[in-house]
Structure formats: structure tokens, C-alpha cells
């Protein structure tokens, strides 16, 4: 097997190959990459993996140089992505060996690598020159949207389905309504609600400037699904989903007490899943979870997705 890397492929070529990747993640999407680069003042680059002269995979990566490259930062977040038929353990190992050879650890260089590698396969990464950090592994749920709506509904947990049914009854009675216009005004409202929720509950999230940039940029390319639910004409719940190639990611949500009582968050997510199906999205990433928020984990597990645990962060 001969593996070679092109570290600077054209964006158009990257997009073309991304379209055939199965289960693409948000962090490898060019729209996300440009927003990330804008916020942190770094450069986005696109790479191509070839195995025996055939295109085998792609990866979006970032770097920043100063003092003529003496100071250098390089980042790879949830990559690489493999084309159908590639991505076996030997392919992964060969890629990370090349990465380590291209950017070895040295004084003045900062590396951050979040490999798109399953937790139970992470052992080989040490032999490739990557060292794990103290950050724990990343876990999420992936909902496959290949089934019809009745099958998707049957996969929901009983508690999740009951909350959805309660919200649908209120919707039928005119006590609830949902709005999916996703206008700039709705983006501002959602960010305001979310920031206030962070203050009230004392938790951290993505920087509001970066979040506004992400939502706005995805809206520009028709990649934003933003839904708001109103209970008796008072907003009580909102969700934002980012669409990227054949995938989508649950990015942001806000709920008040009325939402928890009426099941409106369940309703919005269910409506989002049906809309994603109409767009041709095949995989819905629920955006991760951790042990610090067991209630959120149970809620996301209720959508009937498969749990995926990734290897975590390396340097």
C-alpha cells in the first residue's frame, strides 16, 4: 500500500469528494472551517489522501505561523474523512504516521489532533507519534435517517415519544405553534435566549460571536434549520441544526419551564428530523454529551440513535 498526501487541494475538489463521504461531521465542513478560521485568526487548508494513486480520503486542517514559521500551530479536528472502501485501520495508521512526519513535535510548535477514530481503536495512535491529552473521549449519538417516518418514530424511547405526542396534541388544539423561518431576527433571538440561559444556569458554551458567525454563514448557504416553538404565543423552545453535505448536527437549543412541561423541544427535533429527510440528509449528529449532564444524555439517547465514542484529543 502506498499512501501519499496533498496538503493543499483546491476547495472545489474538496467539496466534490465530501459529497460522497458517509457520515460527514460538522468540524470537517468548509463553512464551519471558514467561520472557525475567521474567529481564531488562522488559515484553513484542505488535504487529499491517495492510496495507490486513487483518492481515498480528505481532511480539513488549520495552521498559523509567526516569525517565519518558528512559531507554528497546526490543528486537525475530527479528521480525516474516508471515501467509501477506505478507512481501514492500516489506512488510518499510515495517515497519522505521515501527519506526524510532516509536523513533528518541536519547540515552538503546538499541535492539536482530534482524530476521527473510535475509542477502542486509539491504541495505535501512540505508535504514530501522537500523545493523548487529559481531555476525555468525545461521545455522541448518530441518528440514521434512512427509515420512513413511522420507523423513525418507533425507534424513539417510550418517554420521548410520549412527550412528542403531548406536544402534538397541543399543536392540534392551537395552543402550540412552530416557526421555521430562520431569519436574522430569529438568530438574534435564539442567541439572546441561549446566553441568558448560560448566565442563569452557570455553564459555558461556544463564544457568542463565533456562534452568531456559524448560524449566519450556514443560513447564507441554506444550511440552517432554526425552529422556534410558541406556547400560547410566548416563545418557549428553540433549536438550531446545521446541515453539511449528507450530514447534519444539532448545534444549539434553548428551553424554558413551559417547554419541559409541554414537550416542545421534542416536537422541534422531530420536525427537524423530518425536514432533514426531505433535504436528503442521511445522518443526524446530536452534538455530543458528557457525564456532567446526565439528563441531556438521556434526552438525546431517546431519539433512538447509535452511540459513538471517539478517541479524544492528542498532541
* Per-residue pLDDT tens over the stretch 83-99: 999 999 999 999 999 99
Band of pLDDT at residue 291, cut at 50, 70 and 90: low
Domain assignment of residue 295, yes or no: yes
Residue 98 sits in the same domain as residue 146: no
**Domain total for the chain?**
2
Which of 97, 131, 165 is the endpoint of a domain? 131
Domain assignment of residue 275, yes or no: yes
Domain assignment of residue 10, yes or no: yes
CATH number where 188 lies: 3.40.630.30
Residue 95 sits in the same domain as residue 168: no
pLDDT at 203: 75
Q: Angle at which helices 184-201 and 208-220 pack, to 10 degrees?
A: 150
Residue 16 sits in the same domain as residue 161: no
Q: Is the pLDDT of residue 74 over 80?
A: yes
Q: Is the pLDDT of residue 136 over 70?
A: no
Q: How far apart are CA 106 and CA 70, in angstroms?
A: 10
Residue 122 sits in the same domain as residue 146: no
* Among 96, 106, 103, CA closest to 128: 96
What range defines the domain where residue 184 resides? Answer: 141-309
Domain assignment of residue 315, yes or no: no
Domain assignment of residue 314, yes or no: no
Residue 150 sits in the same domain as residue 116: no
Residue 108 sits in the same domain as residue 192: no
Per residue in 93-126, pLDDT (tens digit) is: 999 999 999 999 999 999 999 999 999 888 899 9
Domain assignment of residue 197, yes or no: yes
Which of 131, 154, 174 is the endpoint of a domain? 131
Q: How far apart are CA 177 and CA 257, in angstroms?
A: 17
Q: How far apart are CA 185 and CA 139, in angstroms?
A: 32
Which of 106, 131, 156 is the endpoint of a domain? 131
Residue 120 sits in the same domain as residue 234: no
* C-alpha dihedral, 271 to 273 to 279 to 283, nearest 10°: 170
Residue 153 sits in the same domain as residue 121: no
Residue 165 sits in the same domain as residue 281: yes
Residue 71 sits in the same domain as residue 168: no
Q: Are 60 and 44 in contact (CB under 8 A)?
A: yes
Amino acid at each position: 500500500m502506498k499512501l501519499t498526501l496533498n496538503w493543499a487541494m483546491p476547495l472545489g475538489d474538496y467539496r466534490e469528494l465530501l459529497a460522497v463521504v458517509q457520515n460527514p461531521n460538522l468540524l470537517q465542513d468548509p463553512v464551519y472551517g471558514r467561520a472557525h478560521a475567521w474567529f481564531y485568526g488562522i488559515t484553513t487548508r484542505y488535504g487529499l489522501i491517495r492510496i495507490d494513486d486513487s483518492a481515498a480520503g480528505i481532511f480539513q486542517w488549520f495552521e498559523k505561523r509567526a516569525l517565519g514559521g518558528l512559531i507554528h500551530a497546526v490543528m486537525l479536528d475530527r479528521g480525516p474523512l474516508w471515501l467509501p472502501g477506505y478507512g481501514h485501520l492500516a489506512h488510518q495508521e499510515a495517515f497519522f504516521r505521515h501527519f506526524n512526519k510532516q509536523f513533528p513535535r518541536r519547540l515552538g510548535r503546538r499541535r492539536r489532533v482530534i482524530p476521527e477514530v473510535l475509542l477502542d481503536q486509539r491504541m495505535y495512535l501512540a505508535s504514530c507519534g501522537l500523545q493523548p491529552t487529559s481531555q476525555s473521549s468525545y461521545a455522541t449519538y448518530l441518528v440514521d435517517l434512512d427509515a420512513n417516518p413511522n420507523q423513525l418514530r418507533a425507534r424513539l424511547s417510550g418517554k420521548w415519544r410520549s412527550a412528542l405526542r403531548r406536544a402534538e396534541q397541543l399543536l392540534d388544539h392551537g395552543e402550540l405553534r412552530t416557526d421555521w423561518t430562520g431569519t436574522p431576527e430569529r438568530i438574534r433571538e435564539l442567541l439572546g435566549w441561549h446566553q441568558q440561559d448560560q448566565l442563569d444556569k452557570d455553564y459555558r458554551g461556544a463564544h457568542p460571536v463565533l456562534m452568531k458567525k456559524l448560524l449566519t454563514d450556514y443560513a447564507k448557504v441554506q444550511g440552517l434549520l432554526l425552529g422556534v416553538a410558541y406556547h400560547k404565543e410566548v416563545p418557549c423552545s428553540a433549536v438550531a441544526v446545521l446541515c453539511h453535505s449528507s450530514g447534519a448536527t444539532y448545534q444549539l437549543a434553548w428551553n424554558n419551564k413551559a417547554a419541559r412541561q409541554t414537550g416542545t423541544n421534542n416536537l422541534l427535533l422531530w420536525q427537524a428530523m423530518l425536514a432533514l429527510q426531505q433535504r436528503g440528509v442521511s445522518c443526524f449528529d446530536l452534538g455530543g454529551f458528557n457525564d456532567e449532564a446526565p439528563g441531556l444524555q438521556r434526552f438525546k439517547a431517546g431519539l433512538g440513535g447509535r452511540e459513538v465514542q471517539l478517541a479524544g484529543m492528542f498532541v
